[in-house]
Amino acid sequence: MLYLTLIEVLELHRRIIEQSGGGSGIRDIGLLEERDRPAPNDVWQRRTVPKFA
Closest by CA to 13, choosing from 2, 43, 28, is 28
Q: What was the pLDDT predicted at 48?
A: 55
For the chain, the structural domain boundaries read 1-35
CB 32 within 8 A of CB 26: yes
Distance CA 20, CA 43 (A): 40
Q: What was the pLDDT predicted at 23?
A: 83
Closest by CA to 6, choosing from 34, 28, 27, is 34
The pLDDT tens digits for 1-53 are: 678 888 998 999 999 999 998 888 888 888 888 876 666 665 555 555 555 55
Distance CA 20, CA 22 (A): 7
User: pTM (2 decimals)?
Assistant: 0.60
Q: What was the pLDDT predicted at 15?
A: 94
